[in-house]
Every structure is written in C-alpha cells, then in structure tokens.
Amino acid sequence: MADNRTLKLSVAEGAIYTLAFNATQGFVYSTLAMYYNFDPVLLSVVAVLPSTAQIIQFFAPLVYRFIPSKHKAIYWFAFIARTSFILIPIAMLLNLKNKFIIAIPFFIFSIVNSIVGSLWTSAMKNIVSEEQRSSYFGYRNTISTFAGLIAWVFYSIIL
C-alpha cells in the first residue's frame, strides 16, 4: 500500500487531468475550432483523436525501454500532455491565428495521454489495496468531477 502523499497526489492529478480533458470536449473545442477557422478535415481529425489515439496503448511497453520507472514515466508523460495546453492561452494572448498552434496541444494530449492511461492503470493496482479501491476511486472521481464542473464554468467565462 502506498503512502498517503501518493494517494493525495493521485487525486490532484485526476483533477488536473479533468481540467485538460474538458478543454478537448464540447463547446471548448468547438469554440476554439470556429475561432481559429479549422477546416473540415482538421476539425474531424482532432475531434476523433481521443478515441483513435487509444491504439497508441499498444506501444506503452516500449516506454519502459526509455524510462524504466513506471512512476517517472507517468509523471513525465502526464506533465507533457497537460502542459501542452499552455500553447492555447499564449496563442490567444499574442493574437496568433494559426490553427495548427491550437491543434498541436490536442494531438499531444490525446496521443501522450493514451500512454499515460495504460501506465497509470497498471501502477494504481500496486498503489491502492484491493480493499480500498472502491472508496478511494469513488473519492478521486468525486474530486475530479467537481474540478470538471469548475472548469466548465471557467472555460465558459473565458470563451
């Protein structure tokens, strides 16, 4: 069983993931796509990325050749996936109108997140005891959902 700090970090990570994931869905994605004049092909490709990128999970074992520690791999891949969205507000603040600057974070997030998901599921089986799983993940999902609701309000104010 992992220490309490690891479990708390996992709850925080779930909330941060939800903030990033919500940016790839619904009115947030649609508004950005319209504002940056995505053509129909780019609009379609980016829209199906979260689903189609799941095929990348087959390559997750290759990650261990480069980063043997599962925890470090999860940290770095999650960090890359989440921070890729920093490009969007920077592009908006600098009034950059290139649709690919906006599409790149969606590509990075979807592809890298598929690897993170596979590694994370495997790691959590070792971190959370079987007896605690239902209550722990129930709590984690509640916090993530609440973070997601706050994100929707925040995104609607910004957009």
pLDDT above 70: percentage of residues in the chain = 99
* Residue 60: per-residue pLDDT: 78
Angle at 24 between CA 152 and CA 42, to 5 degrees: 140
User: pLDDT by residue (tens digit) across 70-128?
Assistant: 888 888 888 999 899 899 989 989 999 999 999 999 999 999 988 888 888 888 888 89
Joined tokens for residue 78:
């999650």
| pLDDT band at 50; cut points 50, 70, 90 | confident
What is the spatial distance between Cα 144 and Cα 13, in angstroms, rounded to a whole number? 9
135 contacts: CB under 8 Å, gap ≥ 6: none
* Residue 28: per-residue pLDDT: 85
| pLDDT band at 2; cut points 50, 70, 90 | low
What is the spatial distance between Cα 53 and Cα 141, in angstroms, rounded to a whole number? 23
Q: Is the pLDDT of residue 1 over 60?
A: no
C-alpha of 59 from chain center: 18
* Residue 143: per-residue pLDDT: 96
Q: What is the 3-state secondary structure (H, E, C) of 44-55?
A: HHHHHHHHHHHH
Mean pLDDT over each residue of the chain, to the nearest integer: 88
- Whether the predicted model's global pTM rises above the 0.75 cut: yes
